[in-house]
Amino acid sequence: MSSGEASPWMTDADTDHHLKESFMGRAGEIQPEPMFDPHSIRADFPALAREVRPGVPLIYLDNAATSLKPWPVIRAVQAYDVDFPANVHRGLHTLSEEATAAYEGARGKIARFLNASSDSEIIFTRGTTDSINLVALSWGRATLRQGDEILLSAMEHHANLVPWQMLAQEKGVVIRYAELAPDRTLDLDSFDRQINERTKLVAITAMSNVLGTIVPIQEITRRARSAGAVLLVDAAQAVPHQRIDVRALDVDFLAFSGHKMCGPTGIGVLYGRQALLDQMPPVIGGGDMVTHVDRAGAEWNELPWKFEAGTPPIAQAIGLGAAVDYLSQFPWDQVVALHHSLVRRAEALLSAIGGIHLLTPPNQVNGGVISFTVDRVHPHDLAQILDRSGVAIRAGQHCAMPLHQTLGLAATARASFYLYNKHEDVDVLAEMLQNAQKVFHRR
């Protein structure tokens, strides 16, 4: 597979063909909305009903940073706080038993959502960053030796970069990077030049939080296996937008956050292959991660609790379970098609405006992100003036400074879509960008 082909892990071939035929269209053509109707669920998200200032409704296009929360998730967290606000695992009273059942029930929902082999392969963390740091501090410290190599890509989020840089400084490990192709997809030829017999870990994003680029994970898995390397996938952007099957992808580790998929903040997941997790030492001590403690030492608990020291994020995990339930009710191929159609509409409208430069890979299936620059307008100024019209976008380097250095840009503006966004949101974005140009170019 070439670097420009659509990733096979996204959808099956028939669905992918349907998406290209129905929603890509001819260059510059605006396509109609797909069958999934975002209007039908917008009432589930109370934030969408507010005005950011009198008479100015919210148009939320910052979903790659964090998504909005629907009522079922809000109520699930509230139910814990109101009805059974107890600690888990250790209590023998009714409230603790109810809390434990809800907490562990959420773990089971996530295991099924990812098609994990066992609930024990699901570790609750504080988020994607925490999950990747856990692997670095446990597996990395125990496994890697001086001269070993880690292979990343040029578009990694800091969460999948800084932990490995810290480990490299500590252990004398070498970090290598697969570069971008000219169309800003992953250059698989560059990947092949960097991977070798010294590569012990491939750690790569499944979807760029800046470019929306989707990485062909199945191809990456095949290459990692051929080199004998372990594979970690940063799926913070992918899990909210695609159906992920960890067994079909054959990944060793996969990390994501709840708050980007309608769940609460402060909760994330590390999926790990059980054989690897069994071998890994815990990195934080105390609480449920032990079964016996005396003055001489301690005995570690079984998976997954070996890695969940102290009081866990109980309410947040329950909320994430509710988010999985909420998302699972929808025909996901149609939701994916909506995301693609929103990006295509944005590409068509914004590319027709002079002075706007799109960074999204052209003619690619995209995960719901479009980044751009505007001539003579700093992205921070752009975000502030759009906010006056209720349009919430992100501006800056998006925790991906090396990628921006590769692109030769100090900062970018980013609009990112989710299942409650509608085509009218894109239309307002385009209109407000034109208005912003007029404001700044008068100066």
pLDDT tens-digit readout, 104-140: 999 999 999 999 999 999 999 999 999 999 999 999 9
Task: Check if the beta carbon of residue 148 is closer than 8 Å to that of residue 200.
Answer: yes
Cα separation, 443 vs 439, in Å, equals 7
State residue 414's pLDDT score: 98
User: Which residues are the active-site residues?
Assistant: 399
pLDDT band for position 367 (cuts 50, 70, 90): confident
The DSSP secondary-structure symbol of 180 reads B
The 10 Å Cβ neighbour count of residue 128 is 26
302 has a pLDDT exceeding 60:
yes
Cα separation, 25 vs 269, in Å, equals 37
DSSP, residue by residue, 202-222: EEEESB-TTT-PBP-HHHHHH
Sign of the CA dihedral running 257, 263, 267, 273: negative
Cα separation, 314 vs 310, in Å, equals 11
Cα separation, 217 vs 5, in Å, equals 12
Its CATH architecture, for the domain 13-62+331-441, is Alpha-Beta Complex (3.90)
pLDDT band for position 362 (cuts 50, 70, 90): confident
State residue 363's pLDDT score: 73
State residue 179's pLDDT score: 98
H runs (alpha helix) in 181-273: 188-194, 217-227, 246-249
190 has a pLDDT exceeding 70:
yes
> pLDDT for 162-185, tens place per residue?
999 999 999 999 999 999 999 999
Is CATH 3.40.640.10 the classification given to domain 72-328? yes
Provide the residue ranges of all domains of the chain, joining segments of one domain with +: 13-62+331-441, 72-328
5 has a pLDDT exceeding 60:
no
Comparing CA positions, the residue from 420, 366, 428, 427 lying closest to residue 23 is 366
State residue 35's pLDDT score: 66
pLDDT band for position 36 (cuts 50, 70, 90): confident
> pLDDT for 384-441, tens place per residue?
999 999 999 999 999 999 999 999 999 999 999 999 999 999 999 999 999 999 888 7
As a whole number, the mean pLDDT across the chain is 91
Domains 13-62+331-441 and 72-328 share a fold: no
Select the highest-mean-pLDDT range: 34-48, 198-212, 283-297, 354-368.
Answer: 198-212
Pairing of strands 297-300, 290-294: antiparallel
State residue 26's pLDDT score: 33
pLDDT band for position 224 (cuts 50, 70, 90): very high
> pLDDT for 67-105, tens place per residue?
999 999 999 999 999 999 999 998 899 999 999 999 999
DSSP, residue by residue, 20-88: IIIII-STTPPPPP-SS-GGGTGGG-GGGG-EEETTEE-EE-BTTT-----HHHHHHHHHHHHH----S
Residue 229, H or E segment: none
Tell me what the mean pLDDT of segment 249-276 comes to: 98
pLDDT band for position 56 (cuts 50, 70, 90): very high
Comparing CA positions, the residue from 208, 216, 230 lying closest to residue 188 is 216
Tell me what the mean pLDDT of segment 291-320 comes to: 94
The residue among 16 and 23 whose pLDDT is bigger is 16
- ∠ CA 233-236-240, nearest 5°, is 120
Share of the chain above pLDDT 90, in %: 86
Q: Is 247 exposed, middle or buried (0-12, 13-18, 19+ CB in 10 A)?
A: exposed
State residue 442's pLDDT score: 66
State residue 142's pLDDT score: 97
State residue 312's pLDDT score: 95
pLDDT band for position 3 (cuts 50, 70, 90): very low
Q: Scan for tokens 């030796």, then name that residue.
A: 145
309 has a pLDDT exceeding 90:
yes
Task: Check if the beta carbon of residue 365 is closer than 8 Å to that of residue 379.
Answer: no
Share of the chain above pLDDT 70, in %: 92
338 has a pLDDT exceeding 50:
yes
Q: How many CA atoms lie within 13 A of 379 on its CB side?
A: 18
State residue 13's pLDDT score: 37
Q: Is 310 exposed, middle or buried (0-12, 13-18, 19+ CB in 10 A)?
A: exposed
Tell me what the mean pLDDT of segment 261-276 comes to: 98
